[in-house]
Amino acid sequence: MERRHFLRQAGTTLALASTAGLAACARQPVAAAVPQDTPVLPQARMVSGEATIAPVKASVDRITGVYVCTRPFRAAGPRIEAERLGRKTVVHNYGHGGSGWSLSWGSSTLALRMAQATGAREIGVIGCGALGLTSALLARRAGHPVTIYAKQLPPDVYSMRASGVWTPDSRICDEQHESALAARWEEMTRTSHAMYQSMLGIPGKPVEWIDGYSLSDTPPGQGPAEPDDEPDYGSFRDSVPDLTPHSVELPVGSTPFPQPYVRRFTTMMFNISTLARTLMSDFLAAGGKIEIREFTDPDQLQKLPEHTLINCTGYGAKALFRDDSIIPVRGQTARLIPQPEVTYALSTHQFSMIPRSDGLLVQVLNDTGNYNNADTTPRRADSEAAVRQIADLMTRLRKS
Ligand SMILES: Cc1cc2nc3c(=O)[nH]c(=O)nc-3n(C[C@H](O)[C@H](O)[C@H](O)COP(=O)(O)OP(=O)(O)OC[C@H]3O[C@@H](n4cnc5c(N)ncnc54)[C@H](O)[C@@H]3O)c2cc1C
C-alpha cells in the first residue's frame, strides 16, 4: 500500500530512500514588519537551520489558472518501436504516462537511434510536446534536417500542463510489465538525468534542484489508505538510488510545520514554460523547421517528404493510430501567482505544491475517478479546496 501511495503522488513524494544523517535542529523565526491595514500573513520560518519557509500566499483569488490533461498511460509502458507504414518508417515514441518530461531525453535517444538505423537523412517528427521537442532537437544536433509537424505547439500542448518534477516511474507501466521494462527504463532514466544536469544554471532556470517537505500526521508507513481505483503500477526507483539525494526524516517537533512527521526530500524541478521555450528556441536556432499540421489518418503521413518519421503524438496516438492500449489518466493542477521567495515544495496526503517560476503549482493528490477518464473539464472547486488546505497549513506554522 505504501509503495502505491508513493507512486501515486506524481510530482512530490519523490526520493524516499534513506533516513540517515538527521540534522541537528535550531528553530529561528524571522521577524517581518506587517503594515496595520494589510491581512496578516504567516511569517517566514526556518526548518532545522536549513531552508527558509517563506509563507505561501494561498488564497483562491490568487489562482491564475486551472489545467487538466490526460496522462497517456500504457500497461506495457511507452511504445518505442519502428513500424513500416506504406513507404514510410514510423518510429513510435509515445505513451509515457506520468513520466513524459522525466524520460523525454532518454526515450527520444532510443527513438532517434531507431530512426537513424533506416539510413535516412531527413527526419520528420510528429508532435511538439515533451517527446517531440526532445526528439527533434536530438535529431537536429546529430546533423539531420528536421521538420516538426504538429496540430498544436507549446503552450497549447498537454505537456505544458504537467507538474514539472523528476518522476521517471510515475504511472509508467503496470506491475505485471515491470520486469520487462526494467532495463530500458533504467537506460532512459540515466540518459535523461544526465541531459538535465547539462541544463542546470542556464538563463531562466529551465531545470533546478529544490528541497521539499512531505508532511504527515502518522509515522512513516502508517499513512491513510489510498483510493483504490487505479492499478498497481511498476516501480523502478530502487534501481537508480545514485541519481537523487536520499530523503531525511526530521526529528518530531523540530520544524515549524504542525504535522509531527516531516521528511525532507530533494528533487529536480522543471520550470516547464522556460524548458519548452528553451527547447523550441534551440531547435529553431539550429535550423529546425516547424509546420502546423493535423493528421486524421495515418495514410496522410505518406504525403510528407521525409521517409522516416518519429511519432510523438502522446495521447493523440490513441485516435490517430487507433491505439486502444492508451488509457487516459486525468490530472488537474492549479497555479497561484508566482512567489520567487517560495523555494520549497510541500506534500501531504491530500495535496502537493511545487514552487515553479511560472506559478506555485497546486495539485490534489489521492483523489479518485481519474483512471480511464478522458474528461478534461476543469473542476475548480477541487483546486480551491487544495489551496484552502495550504492556507490553513500556513496559519498553523509554529513560531518557535
Ligand atoms: C497532472 C499531470 C502532471 C504531470 N506531471 C509530470 C511531471 O511532473 N513529470 C513528468 O515527467 N511528467 C508529468 N506528467 C506526464 C507528462 O505530462 C506526459 O507524459 C507528457 O506530457 C507526454 O508528452 P508527449 O510529448 O508525449 O505528448 P503531448 O504533450 O500531448 O504532445 C503531443 C503532440 O502531438 C500533437 N498531436 C497529437 N495528435 C496529433 C495529430 N493527430 N496530428 C498532428 N499532431 C498531433 C499535439 O498537438 C502535440 O504537439 C504529468 C501529467 C499530468 C496529466
Q: Per residue of the chain (400 residues), what is the pLDDT tens digit? A: 333 433 344 333 433 322 222 222 222 222 333 334 444 455 666 665 556 789 999 999 999 999 999 999 999 999 999 999 999 999 999 999 999 999 999 999 999 999 999 999 999 999 999 999 999 999 999 999 999 999 999 999 999 999 999 999 999 999 999 999 999 999 999 999 999 999 999 999 999 999 999 999 999 888 777 778 999 999 998 899 999 999 999 999 999 999 999 999 999 999 999 999 999 999 999 999 999 999 999 999 999 999 999 999 999 999 999 999 999 999 999 999 999 999 999 999 999 999 999 999 999 999 999 999 999 999 999 999 999 999 999 999 987 5
Give pLDDT, residue 398: 84
- DSSP string for residues in 40-99: PPPPPEESTTSSEEPPP---GGGEEEEEEEEEEEETT--EEEEEEETTEEEEEEE--TT-
Q: What is the pLDDT of residue 223?
A: 78
Name which residue sits closest to atom 38 of ligand 1, judged by CA. Answer: 316
Question: What pLDDT score does 109 carry?
Answer: 98
Sequence ranges of the domains in the chain: 3-71+206-272+332-395
In terms of C-beta density within 10 A (0-12 exposed, 13-18 middle, 19 or more buried), how is residue 112 classed? buried
User: What is the per-residue DSSP string for 26-42?
Assistant: ----------TTSPPPP
User: What atom of ligand 1 comes closest to residue 104's alpha carbon?
Assistant: 11
pLDDT of the residue at 50: 55
Is residue 154 in contact with ligand 1, taking CB distance under 6 Å?
Answer: no
- Residue of 107, 159, 333 to test ligand 1 pocket, by largest number of atoms within 8 Å of CB: 159
Cell of 33: 514588519
Degrees, nearest 5: CA angle 136-183-324: 65
Determine the atom of ligand 1 nearest the C-alpha atom of 11: 8
Question: Residue 258 is which amino acid?
Answer: P
**Residue nearest ligand 1's atom 32 by CA:** 313
Q: What are phi and psi of 4, to 5 degrees?
A: -70, -40
* CA-proximal residue: ligand 1, atom 2 (nearest): 162
C-alpha cell at 185: 527504463
- Ligand 1 atom with the smallest distance to the CA of 320 is 41
Ligand 1 pocket, mutate which of 73, 237, 313, 332 (most atoms under 8 A from CB): 313
Residue-level pLDDT at 68: 97
Other C-beta atoms within 10 Å of 392: how many?
A: 11
C-beta of 164 in contact with ligand 1 (< 6 A) = yes
Q: Which residues of 276-300 are buried (b: 16+ CB within 10 A; e: fewer)?
A: bebbbeebeeeebebeeeebeebee
Task: Say if ligand 1 is within 6 A of residue 294 CB.
Answer: yes
Residue 264 grid cell: 525532507
Calpha distance 380→157 (Å, rounded)? 20
What's the N-to-C CA distance of the chain in angstroms? 35
Q: Assess contact for 148 and 288: CB atoms under 8 A.
A: yes
Contact (CB, 8 A) for 291 and 45: no
Look at residue 244 in the predicted model and tell me its pLDDT: 94
Which pLDDT does position 52 carry in this prediction? Answer: 73
Structure pTM?
0.91
Give distance in angstroms: CA of 101 to centre of ligand 1: 8
Distance 157 CA to ligand 1 centre (A): 6
Parallel, antiparallel, or unpaired for β 351-356 and 344-347?
antiparallel
Q: Of 70, 125, 126, whose CA–CA distance to 96 is shortest?
A: 70
Q: Locate the ligand 1 atom nearest the alpha carbon of residue 67 and give its number.
A: 1
Is the distance from CB of 340 to CB of 357 less than 8 angstroms? yes
CB neighbour class for 46 (10 Å; exposed up to 12, middle 13-18, buried from 19): middle
Task: Please report, for residues 16, 22, 250, 262, 376, the alpha-carbon distance to residue 247 in angstroms, rounded to integers and kept in the order given.
Answer: 5, 10, 10, 10, 34
What pLDDT was estimated at residue 8? 42
What pLDDT does 221 receive? 84
215 C-alpha to center of ligand 1: Å? 29
Taking alpha carbons only, the member of 249, 252, 251, 254 closest to residue 264 is 249
* CA proximity to 259, closest of 204, 300, 218: 218
- Out of 8, 9, 67, 69, mutate this one to test ligand 1's pocket (max ligand atoms within 8 Å of CB): namely 69
Q: From the CB of 321, is ligand 1 less than 6 Å away? A: no
